[in-house]
Amino acid sequence: MVPRTIAPMLAMVDGTRNSDALRTGFLLRTGIQLDSSQVDEFIKSLDDAFLLDNQRFQGAMAKVMDNYRSGPFRPSSLAGNAYPSNGDELREAMDVYCSNANADGGGQVLKDGGGGAKRIAGLISPHIDYNRGWRTYAETWQPAQKAVEDAELIIILGTDHSGSPGRLTLTRQDYATPWGQLPTDTSLVDGLVEILGEDGAFKEEVHHIGEHSVELASVWLHYFAGGKPKRMLPILCGVDENLVEKGAETNGVLQQALSFLADVVAEQNTLVVAAGDLSHVGPAFSDSIPLDLAGKARIRTSDEEWLEVACTGSSERLAEHMRSKGDATRICGASPIRYMLAILPETRGEAVAYDQCPADEQFGSLVSIAGVLFTE
């Protein structure tokens, strides 16, 4: 935490000023005279926290990434906390989730016009913690069990909560769950690197270490695969500026990458998963007024309108909807969902689950989540 009175100095710590210049600039901006020792101590505190882009930070980052990349796999970051680290205990917990969801009418199977089951090509899965979102997870993934079992490849597009706009972040590491490893298809990673470039693909790879979106979806994937290894392509998705900014320039490299993935989907039996939550509203997310029942109903109506557009299967319609309506409810899964639609042509979605999860003790703030299945 930075003290409010000294926070304006952060804008000046851009690598162009020494300590004296920072003191002078701070005085001109705020009228507050600081001692040299105060400035030096402030800079040291930033450096101690690795918040300065300098040699010390770069060395620490290199050490973290060397350790990550030299490991046999990407370890579960939430096992033992968000879910059991023991495979048998985890399976028992997820069995209970699915059993309880079935008791409430979940786990429906989508039927085609002739009464046969439709082929599921994609799905929207939450990435909220299981304690709050278990029912929606179960009601989404149970109907997709055959799709998981039959898939030769599963692409998981997860929200990168720390990602730069327009960035797709890759890793060559396998994702691990308490049941073993889900092997990452490194040949597809290499194909994307040819488009994105090494820097574009891996500059923010450190986010894979602690980001929960892909991990929480991969556990459900592995559960319905019976603990067997499934070839996977994990991709973290930064904010897509085209969803919220009118007139934003098209990211040509991003479009090439999505076209590459569309070709992959067309060539093999692939299940595409968008791991994203929906609205984040209330004082927990900097809104001034807690939500009452009427406010929650308005959020549900807004979410359902958003999902209806997504279910058309058109990434362009979804982008236009968000550009015209804005993003007042802070939908953090918008990028992976739109990218999923872009690489899954000629599919339509059907919402099978929806919930509003409390984000504070009074339930004046909420995170909304949904499960949607996309069929050909």
Mean pLDDT by 10 residues, the chain (376 residues): 86 92 93 92 94 94 96 96 97 96 63 68 98 97 96 98 94 98 98 97 97 98 97 95 58 92 96 98 95 97 97 94 91 96 94 97 97 96
Does 101 share its domain with 161?
yes
**CATH code (residue 326):** 3.40.830.10
Asked whether residue 66 is assigned to any structural domain, the reply reads: no
Asked whether residue 44 is assigned to any structural domain, the reply reads: yes
Does 219 share its domain with 265?
yes
Contacting residues for 114 by C-beta, under 8 A, at least 6 apart: none
Q: Which of 324, 310, 315 is nearest to 370 (CA)?
A: 310
Give the Å distances, CA to CA, from 208 to 50, 237, 321.
19, 11, 30
Give the Å distances, CA to CA, from 152 to 272, 294, 339, 369.
11, 45, 20, 28
Asked whether residue 251 is assigned to any structural domain, the reply reads: yes
Q: What is the pTM of this model?
A: 0.91
Q: Which domain holds residue 87?
A: 82-375
Does 95 share its domain with 40?
no
Does 21 share its domain with 112?
no
Does 193 share its domain with 115?
yes
Asked whether residue 61 is assigned to any structural domain, the reply reads: no
Contacting residues for 318 by C-beta, under 8 A, at least 6 apart: 243, 309, 310, 312, 334, 337, 338, 341
User: Which residue type, as a one-letter code, is found at position 20?
Assistant: D
Question: Distance (Å, rounded) from C-alpha 92 to C-alpha 73?
Answer: 25
Does 183 share its domain with 140?
yes
At residue 104, the pLDDT reads 58
Does 120 share its domain with 231?
yes
Count of domains observed in the chain: 2
Does 35 share its domain with 108?
no
Does 132 share its domain with 24?
no
Asked whether residue 136 is assigned to any structural domain, the reply reads: yes
Does 23 share its domain with 89?
no
Does 12 share its domain with 138?
no
Angle at 224 between CA 183 and CA 129, to 5 degrees: 90
Question: Distance (Å, rounded) from C-alpha 267 to C-alpha 264?
Answer: 5
At residue 102, the pLDDT reads 84
Does 235 share its domain with 354?
yes
Asked whether residue 77 is assigned to any structural domain, the reply reads: no
Contact between 182 and 174 under an 8 Å Cβ cutoff? The reply is: yes
Asked whether residue 360 is assigned to any structural domain, the reply reads: yes
